């Protein structure tokens, strides 16, 4: 594996997956996501693993999908890449997953943290869906999961402005389980995972499934709608302009085309 590292030595029955593209703030390129899917599938089958922690580093959990990889794509390219099958596989992991978030959790990074079952955040964590600033919209569940967690008003604000939510605000709104000083966030997440791994693995898997079921029927419909609109935007000039402007480090000029 090139873009993730799996460590099992921290706590009994707990596996830690570290996202490992530090220079790019762990931007989620296709290869990283494929490795993450594969790693989670292996750990889900591994009898010695009962709980999983996903972490980035102190500066970034993940700053989103890789804009440089997406910039030139149109709707058909995006459909053909079928990245959703990877994200759907991650969603099907039976064992509990805790996101340990420090620094940026933006776009796909925020969506990945929300796809996990719980979030432990460092005081420096910043959550956001800034896709609007590069001419698109959230595509991996952000419009649905953020709205369920924060309520309509706050979610709408974040999705339409691209503003970030601080760790303490995220805790206040119930997006994260706990906020701790940056030096403890990983330890805290591993300790929570260890606590869960002492329970019956079967009961944990079925209980996780049941909690998720509480909103999944509506979620499926919402995700389908979000995906359709997300793909549509990849045939707009504003998507090209927004992503090129990011890469060229200049403000975008949106025209509505
Ligand atoms: N993609 C590619 N490179 C990125 C990146 C990203 N999302 N975020 C950061 N980088 C790179 C920067 O380009 C820079 O590279 P160099 O210039 O050094 O080569 C390096 O990481 C360090 O970043 P900065 O120099 O910008 O660092 P700063 O501290 O100044 O700023 C920042 C940090 C996080 C505020 C800034 O980097 C930023 O705004 N990043 C972009 C955040 C963003 O817009 N994220 C949303 C991306 S869209 C889907 C699944 C998911 C998605 C879509 C579809 N399917 C299943 C189909 C998700 C979409 C998105 O996430």
DSSP state of 65: B
Q: Residue 179 and residue 188: Cα distance in Å, rounded?
A: 9
* 172 within a domain of the structure (yes/no): yes
φ, ψ (nearest 5 deg) of residue 35: -65, -40
* 257 within a domain of the structure (yes/no): no
Q: What tokens were used for 198?
A: 């002492």
Q: What is the CATH number of the domain that holds 124?
A: 3.90.226.10
| Atom number, ligand 1, closest to the C-alpha of residue 111 | 51
pLDDT the model gives residue 217: 80
pLDDT the model gives residue 187: 98
Residue 183 neighbours by CB under 8 Å, 6+ apart: none
The dihedral formed by the CA atoms of 59, 62, 67 and 68, expressed in degrees to the nearest 10: 70
Q: What is the CATH number of the domain that holds 237?
A: 1.10.12.10
* 254 within a domain of the structure (yes/no): no
| Domain end (from 179, 197, 215) | 197
pLDDT the model gives residue 215: 81
* 56 within a domain of the structure (yes/no): yes
The answer on 209 and 180 residing in a single domain is no
Strand partners, 178: 120
* 253 within a domain of the structure (yes/no): no
* 126 within a domain of the structure (yes/no): yes
Q: What tokens were used for 63?
A: 């700053």
- Of 20, 22, 30, 67, the one to substitute when testing ligand 1's pocket (max ligand atoms within 8 A of C-beta) is 67
The answer on 208 and 190 residing in a single domain is no
Give the helix/strand (H/E) hosting 221: helix 201-233
Q: Assess whether the C-beta atom of 84 lies below 6 angstroms from ligand 1.
A: yes
Residue in 27, 65, 170, 193 annotated catalytic: 65
The answer on 205 and 193 residing in a single domain is no
pLDDT the model gives residue 214: 87
Residue in 64, 107, 108, 142 annotated catalytic: 108
The answer on 205 and 90 residing in a single domain is no
The answer on 224 and 140 residing in a single domain is no
The answer on 110 and 27 residing in a single domain is yes
| Atom number, ligand 1, closest to the C-alpha of residue 60 | 34
The answer on 193 and 209 residing in a single domain is no
pLDDT the model gives residue 218: 85
> Are 58 and 35 contacting, i.e. CB atoms less than 8 angstroms apart?
no
* 76 within a domain of the structure (yes/no): yes
The answer on 164 and 129 residing in a single domain is yes
CA-based radius of gyration for the chain:
18
pLDDT the model gives residue 92: 94
Counting the structural domains of the chain, the total is: 2
The answer on 171 and 104 residing in a single domain is yes
Q: Residue 120 and residue 243: Cα distance in Å, rounded?
A: 30
The answer on 134 and 55 residing in a single domain is yes
The answer on 155 and 32 residing in a single domain is yes
Mean pLDDT by 10 residues, the chain (257 residues): 97 98 98 97 97 98 98 94 90 97 98 98 98 98 95 97 98 97 98 97 94 86 92 95 97 94
The answer on 149 and 67 residing in a single domain is yes
Residue in 27, 64, 105, 131 annotated catalytic: 131
* 256 within a domain of the structure (yes/no): no
Q: Show the domain range for 53.
A: 4-197
């Amino acid at each position: 594996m090139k873009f993730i590292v799996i460590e099992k030595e921290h706590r009994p029955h707990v596996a830690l997956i570290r996202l490992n593209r530090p220079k790019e703030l762990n931007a989620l390129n296709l290869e990283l996501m494929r490795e993450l899917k594969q790693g989670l599938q292996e750990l889900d089958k591994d009898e010695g693993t009962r709980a999983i922690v996903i972490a980035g580093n102190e500066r970034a959990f993940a700053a989103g999908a890789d804009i440089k990889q997406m910039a030139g794509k149109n709707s058909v390219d995006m459909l053909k890449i079928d990245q959703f099958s990877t994200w759907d596989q991650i969603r099907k992991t039976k064992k509990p997953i805790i996101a340990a978030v420090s620094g940026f959790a933006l776009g796909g990074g925020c969506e990945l943290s929300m796809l996990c079952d719980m979030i432990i955040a460092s005081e420096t964590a910043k959550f956001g869906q800034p896709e609007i600033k590069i001419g698109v919209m959230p595509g991996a569940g952000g419009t649905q999961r953020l709205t369920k967690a924060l309520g309509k008003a706050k979610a709408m604000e974040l999705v339409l402005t691209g503003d970030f939510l601080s760790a303490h605000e995220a805790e206040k709104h119930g997006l994260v389980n706990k906020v701790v000083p940056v030096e403890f966030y990983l330890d805290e997440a591993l300790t929570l995972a260890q606590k869960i791994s002492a329970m019956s693995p079967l009961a944990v898997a079925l209980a996780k499934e049941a909690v998720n079921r509480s909103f999944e029927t509506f979620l499926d419909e919402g995700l389908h709608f979000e995906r359709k609109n997300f793909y549509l935007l990849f045939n707009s000039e504003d998507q090209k302009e927004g992503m090129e402007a990011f890469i060229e480090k200049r403000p975008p000029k949106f025209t509505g085309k």
